[in-house]
Chain A
Amino acid sequence: MKKKIILTGLLISIALAVLLSPFASRHPDGLEKVAEDKKFISAEKDKAITPAPLSGYIFPGIKDRRVAVSLAGLTGTLFVFAVSISIGYLLKQKKQKG
């Protein structure tokens, strides 16, 4: 039963990332819009300090933008899940030791 809700939650998350994210609004978000309206958008430094592999939520090497966004979303969702679970188990191990 416990497993079922985890699986359901993960599947809902993957579905959101894969099916909906390519159709997300591409308007500027709240902060970007304020930055445009109030003329400080030029302060933004676009160039990444560290190179990001899936910059802009685009999976590299894929022509279709929507497919590239879907794949980036899928990768990110699974990666975030894996990292969070790992942090959880690491903390749990320290609890046992400490």
Chain B
Amino acid sequence: MHIPDGFLDPKTWITFNILSASGITFALNRIKKQIEEKSIPLIGVMAAFIFAAQMINFPVAGGTSGHFMGGVLAGILLGPLTGFVVLSTVLIIQCFIFQDGGLTVLGANIFNMGIIGSVLGTYLYRFFFKLLGSNKNNSLVSAFAGAWFSIVLAAISCAVQLAVSGTVPLITALPAMAGIHALIGIGEGIITVLVLSYIQRVRPDLLEVQKV
């Protein structure tokens, strides 16, 4: 759901650039205080994996495709703020090197996929995990739910941005965006669960690294 240039009006994209820039500044300051050397390679691998996986569009209903976003996976493994910075790094590189996602709307894309997708999605995962009771299986169920919501909520945020910009009425954009992303979210949930269960099996200690 990378928004291209032209879909949002100036007041909207300027607002979201300010919001996302503030968010990144806040996140970097917090990470700086707590980062441990041993988690740095993991941050690199997570970012590389998300970039690669985002290239692989899978078909969903009606001639539409979707791809993995990775916000909740990164948030569970590294912490919500680090996940947010990882997503932001990927989005900035996609914008400048690959022209995927517009430059003016970079802040809006970072807000949707980083702040909603990673920060909010990860807190939803933690909420579900507490609600269900902490064990291995509930961790996967919660990850699926968090990942699904991260996509649907990011899509709703995108629909609101489009509506506020006067590009398309909310009554039209909201059900269309939420509907198709409810399907794409299932793919997000499945991939998130597959990767997490793989890590639970081969390196469960990675799930215990310090998270920011």
**Which residues from chain B contact A35 at a C-beta distance below 8 Å?**
7
**Which residues from chain B contact A94 at a C-beta distance below 8 Å?**
32
- Chain A, 16-39, contact with B by CB distance < 8 Å: what is the 0/1 string? 110011001111111101110110
Most buried by A among B28, B58, B64, B162: B64
Contact residues on A (Cβ < 8 Å of other chain), bracket: 35 or more
In the docked arrangement, what's the CA distance between A14 and B184, Å?
A: 23
**A75, closest chain B residue (CB):** B97
In the docked arrangement, what's the CA distance between A52 and B194, Å?
A: 33
Main secondary structure of the interface of B (DSSP, over half): helix
- Chain A, 36-69, contact with B by CB distance < 8 Å: what is the 0/1 string? 0110100111101110111111000000000001
A81 contact from B48, B55, B167, B168, Cβ within 8 A: B48
**Which residues from chain A contact B55 at a C-beta distance below 8 Å?**
16-17, 20-21, 24, 57, 69, 73, 76
> B-contacting residues of A (Cβ < 8 Å)?
2, 5-6, 9-10, 12-14, 16-17, 20-21, 24-31, 33-35, 37-38, 40, 43-46, 48-50, 52-57, 69, 72-73, 76-85, 87-89, 91-92, 94-95, 98
